[in-house]
Amino acid sequence: MLLEGILRRFYHPTLSVSHTQEYGSVESIGSQIIISHTKNGTVHTRRINLDNAANIEDQVKKEVQKLFQSRHKLVATGFSEQETYKSLAPRLWLDEDIVSFLLESKSKNENIRVEEDLRLVSSNFGGDSTAKVHITKDYEVKAKDLVTLDDYKKTCSEEEFSILKSLASEFKSKRLTFISATPQGGGVALMRHALIRLFNLLGVDAHWYVLKPNVEVFNITKRKFHNILQAVSDHIEELTENEEELYNLWIKENAAIFEKMFRQSHIIVIDDPQPSGLIPYIKKVNPKAKVIYRSHIQLEAGLANKKGTPQRKSWQFLWKNIKLSDTFVSHPVADFVPKELGRKKVVFFPATTDLLDGLNKPLSDHHLNYYLRLFNKFLKVEGQTPLDLRRPYIIQISRFDPSKGIPDVLESYLKLTILLKAKRHKAPQLVLTGNGSIDDPDRAPIFDQTVDRLSSPVYKDIRNDIKIVRLPHMDQLLNTLLRRSKIVLQLSTKEGFEIKVTEALMKGKPVIVYRTGAMPLQVMEGINGFVVDAGNTDQVAKNMFDLLTNDSLYSKMGASAKNYFDKSLLTIPGAIRWLRLCVSLTKTRNPR
């Protein structure tokens, strides 16, 4: 048996946003493992005898652990032998935090082959060491295979898994397609990666496409669709005719790209307003296709229903396309549904998260410490002092967006430090962080406004305890920050169904949220966290104070968060909901 692997490693002392990368190769021939790696341009090789040729997986994992103990973080492996890749790749991902790739080695020369494979593995990563998302020329997103179907089976009951398999079989021979704005950034992309990954394992013919990027149009869809429909714009300007025309031209361009896909699909899911203009084109090209519009935002239906409001203007522009869909899927809040829809067309789904992805999978203490050191490298690049790893910290993870209540987070933290000082308690630190998305023009301005806000004299004494940083799409880093945090905040002034709340609860963290959107459905007041009226920063500070000064309360809430989080918010229950709807749509005209 021949196994070739590529190990991508980083040295902690030199790790930064634009650090130097080194690579290595692992090859198994007969009863030996041959490990090669580059250091300062020189290739170093060593041979390890296998205890048992059939035990190669344990041997590879053992060597990976040895390298990590010597401060080499292995990030990726590449295999040319498919069977070993299939058996070992999931174990390396879940146990050793290593992404694996299946490669096609062409050269018979060992040295040339190693260099070739090194380039192939490195091509899957960007300059900031984050894995690239694979998108085809037709704008289809290829979700990375990370785990097996058996791994997913362990995350649910036997009954759920049986239902899932039965529905997948019933939907066989049908094609399901999702269309969203971007392949990374925000909960929609995270859910699509996980769902497509699971559907691929089940043999469901499911695909995911993203729109051709256009910065000018993304400014319109974010500020005139999302922000206005959620009523979070500081300077509300109505959608103009020129903007409508620009959006329509962009949609026409995307429709031409997707025409073949429209014809091939039996069900097409439109995620949020950005691609909603495609619906008439789908119906024209493939009248038999069923279209589902999935709304992921807190759509202020009351304002959208009210004549003369900017919300009404934007909604009416979108509604002329959305009304052609066969089903409207909303978060489970009735006030998110405008009156035009009635109830027969509406289905309520919560957002879901995945137990096996980088955001949620268990990480060893070694890996947690590694990612915290990495976080401090990013802080250093931003010109900030490092997070003191000996002290607790409070965290909010979110995009830098006007809906996320970031000014309220800062104000609440300031009030907390005053309360703690009065009782002579040492204050924890505060972390404000998250990823960005290419369709979100607010991410840079809101970040800059947040930094500027800290220059106010009122924050002078606590400024160095507040860490504000935009992070690359490195899920394990956010996973780590949540796991090592003391308290999690989500003070969004507008919110759909916030996945980060679910992810914090399943890690045993008390969560404080505003009474907005669907978040009150996620947090049980006084049991696993607190639900506070939006804008009441005094109460947020008081709740944080109680958790920090009452060990019994903190332990009780943390245990409740971990033991009783809603497991229906995971990928498999979500997949069951989608398949049930799809099966129903292919059988009846208007499923409930």
pLDDT at 142: 95
Q: Is residue 19 part of a domain?
A: yes
Sheet holding 175-180, edge to edge: 205-210, 175-180, 267-271, 290-294, 327-330, 346-348
Q: Is residue 591 part of a domain?
A: no
Residues in the chain: 592
Residues 343 and 413 in one domain: no
Single-letter amino acid code for the residue at 585: L
CA 485 to chain centre: 19
Say which CATH number the domain at 225 has. Answer: 3.40.50.2000
pLDDT at 339: 87
The pTM (predicted TM-score) of the whole model is: 0.90
Is the separation of the CB atoms in 148 and 201 below 8 Å? yes
Q: Splitting the chain (592 residues) into consecutive groups of 10 residues, what average pLDDT does each group show?
A: 40 31 50 54 59 64 66 72 81 89 74 71 74 92 95 96 98 96 88 97 98 92 86 77 95 97 98 96 97 92 87 92 96 89 89 96 93 93 93 94 92 98 96 73 76 91 94 92 98 90 96 95 95 97 98 97 91 98 82 40
Q: Is residue 199 part of a domain?
A: yes
- Strand 290-294 and strand 327-330: the pairing is parallel
Q: Is 468 helix (H, G, I), strand (E, B) or coil?
A: strand
Q: Is residue 290 part of a domain?
A: yes
The number of distinct structural domains making up the chain is 3
Residues 524 and 378 in one domain: yes
For tokens 């010109």, name the residue. 383
Q: Is residue 217 part of a domain?
A: yes
Residues 6 and 20 in one domain: yes
Q: Is residue 170 part of a domain?
A: yes
Instruction: Give the separation between CA 10 and CA 129, rounded to whole angstroms.
Output: 9
Residues 268 and 402 in one domain: no
Residue 351 DSSP code: -
pLDDT at 275: 96
**Partner residues linked to 94 by β-bridges:** none
Residues 423 and 562 in one domain: yes
Residues 66 and 161 in one domain: no
Instruction: Give the separation between CA 374 and CA 9, rounded to whole angstroms.
Output: 13
Residues 552 and 533 in one domain: yes
pLDDT at 72: 61
Residues 281 and 207 in one domain: yes
Residue 370's φ and ψ, nearest 5 degrees, are -60, -50
Say which CATH number the domain at 66 has. Answer: 3.30.420
What is the rounded end-to-end Cα distance, in angstroms, of the chain?
A: 54
Residue 454's φ and ψ, nearest 5 degrees, are -70, -15
Residues 251 and 309 in one domain: yes
For tokens 């250093």, name the residue. 380
Q: Is residue 139 part of a domain?
A: no
Single-letter amino acid code for the residue at 533: D
The sign of the dihedral angle between the CA atoms of 142, 148, 152, 158 is positive
Residues 496 and 414 in one domain: yes
The angle at the Cα of 591, spanning 585 to 592, to the nearest 5 degrees, equals: 145
Domain end call among 132, 159, 188 = 132
**Closest residue by Cα to residue 464 from 423, 431, 487:** 431
Residues 6 or more apart in contact with residue 449 via CB below 8 angstroms: none
Q: Is residue 137 part of a domain?
A: no
Residues 383 and 503 in one domain: yes
For tokens 């049980």, name the residue. 524
CA 332 to chain centre: 20
Residues 178 and 324 in one domain: yes
| Range of the structural domain that residue 227 is part of | 149-352+571-585
pLDDT at 155: 95
